Amino acid sequence: MRLFDGGRVPNARRTRIFLAEKGISIPLVPVDLAAFEHRGAAFTAMNAMQRVPVLELDDGSYLSESIAICRYFEEVQPEPPLFGTGARERATIEMWNRRIELDFYLAIQAVFRHTHPGMAKSEGHQVPEWGEINRPRVMAMLAMMDRELADRPFVAGERLSVADITRQVAVDFLKPIRIAVPEDHAHLRRWHGEMSARPSALA
Amino acid sequence: MRLFDGGRVPNARRTRIFLAEKGISIPLVPVDLAAFEHRGAAFTAMNAMQRVPVLELDDGSYLSESIAICRYFEEVQPEPPLFGTGARERATIEMWNRRIELDFYLAIQAVFRHTHPGMAKSEGHQVPEWGEINRPRVMAMLAMMDRELADRPFVAGERLSVADITRQVAVDFLKPIRIAVPEDHAHLRRWHGEMSARPSALA
């Protein structure tokens, strides 16, 4: 088993942090995104969506989509549970992971892909107007997430979950679009400091 | 327990089809999206994201995000398994559900929200250029999904899963953006005909 990795891109990092929190170590195979290796024939044969990461299983088959790979490892090694236990907690973590991914991460990605000069070649057709209208959405989500953290330590409750990891890589992805978590978002800043101090943050 | 429903919008329908496939019946509470009831104070208190559907649990708490609600019911009633069983199948279904949602459903939604005159008020700021560049993405996904169906009956393998339901509501969502599944996509047309003929399609 080995993981075709993408270095610093958020979805690759999300998977590595997840594995680190599980205490699972598997060989990583670097994928050269700058050279568009992920759009070549060899990589496309592993994942038609041309995205990292990709997990190669021992039988030579492939799994892609970072959350699907994380869920695979959750099933083969349930402890510590990062997708929750029981109907209520599992659904709550799913809800938060989706909110953060669909409304926060994808908004950051839209700003990055459609307004950052370095993404012009990769994106092919940038729509700066689309990027810009996502900036206030990012700010609104930062405010909402700060309020939600007032009464609990982690995204979905009393313990760490995959939703925290999704938000961690998303918050760190604010840097290239030059947005900082506002000073008055004390809860979110506390949480981000704690996440950044975990050993898994270096994965 | 009751489900705050949104009528014909895809995520509300996805949840109802899922419940129908599970054989679960719960009271539905209509939400008047045309009157923007989902953006009012009462609804926002249930779901800060202002989206349907929302599940009210027996203790008065709320769950939102259609897939999170589906997962809740999967946990409380595992049969028939629509998120799969075992690590490999669960991860594969997750992979396909995400691919279809992120690359197909969201592309259709972008075309609809940013080019349909009826969405101008709801969206506030339409970016037609963003909508239009999603059209070829929709067509590319249709072709990819058709090829993938050549060797299996359902999205993720030999049996129905939540990924089929996600794709079903997405394909039906092609109508308002005036895209039809091309005639030569025989596998996808076969699959869509079968999905539409299931009793759950009327949910």
- The mean pLDDT value for B33-40 works out to 94
pLDDT digits (tens, 9 = 90+) for B100-114: 999 999 999 999 999
- Enter the pTM of the model: 0.97
Task: Write out pLDDT tens, residues A192-203.
Answer: 999 999 999 999
Among A49, A76, A106, the residue with its CB nearest the CB of B99 is A49
Q: What is the pLDDT of residues A103-142, one digit of tens each?
A: 999 999 999 999 999 999 989 999 999 999 999 999 999 9
What is the predicted pLDDT for the residue at B131? Answer: 97
Q: Which residue has the higher pLDDT, B129 or B7?
A: B129
Instruction: Say what the pLDDT of residue B77 is.
Output: 98
Q: Per the CB < 8 Å rule, is B130 touching A125?
A: no
The answer to whether A130 contacts B127, with C-beta atoms less than 8 Å apart, is: yes
Confidence of residue B116 (pLDDT cuts 50, 70, 90): very high
Confirm or reject contact between A67 and chain B (CB < 8 A).
Answer: yes
CA B200/CA B70 separation, integer angstroms:
14
Q: What is the mean pLDDT of chain A?
A: 97
Q: B94 pLDDT band (50/70/90 cuts)?
A: very high
Q: CB distance A130–B125 less than 8 Å?
A: no
What is the DSSP-derived secondary structure letter of residue A81?
Answer: P
Chain centroid, CA B3 distance in Å: 16
Residue B50: both structure tokens together: 């202002």
Task: State which residue of chain A sits closest to B78, comparing Cα positions.
Answer: A87
Looking at residue B103, its pLDDT comes to 97
Contact criterion met (CB < 8 Å) for A92 and B68 = yes
Q: Per-residue pLDDT tens for B68-78?
A: 999 999 999 99
Q: Please tell me the least confidently modeled range out of A89-93, A117-121, B90-94.
A: A117-121
Could you say which DSSP state residue B7 is in?
Answer: T
Chain segment B165-182, per-residue pLDDT in tens:
999 999 999 999 999 999
Contacts of A95 in chain B (CB under 8 A): 63-65, 68
Residue type, B134: N
pLDDT for res A175? 96
Closest among B128, B4, B5 to B62, alpha carbons compared: B4
Going through chain A in order, the beta strands assigned E by DSSP cover 2-5, 28-30, 54-56, 62-64
A10 interaction partners in chain B (CB closer than 8 Å) = none
B49 and A99 within 8 Å at the Cβ level: the answer is: yes
Strand runs labelled E in B19-103: 28-30, 54-56, 62-64
Shortest CA gap A85–chain B (Å): 10
pLDDT at position B188: 98
Burial class of residue A35 (count of CB atoms within 10 Å of its CB; 0-12, 13-18, 19+): exposed
Q: Residue length, chain A?
A: 203
d(C-alpha A3, C-alpha A96), whole Å: 26
Tell whether A49 is within 8 A of chain B (Cβ).
yes
Q: What is the pLDDT of residue B105?
A: 98
For A142-186, how does the pLDDT look when each residue is reduced to its tens digit (9 = 90+)?
999 999 999 999 999 999 999 999 999 999 999 999 999 999 999
Contact B103, B141 (CB under 8 A): yes
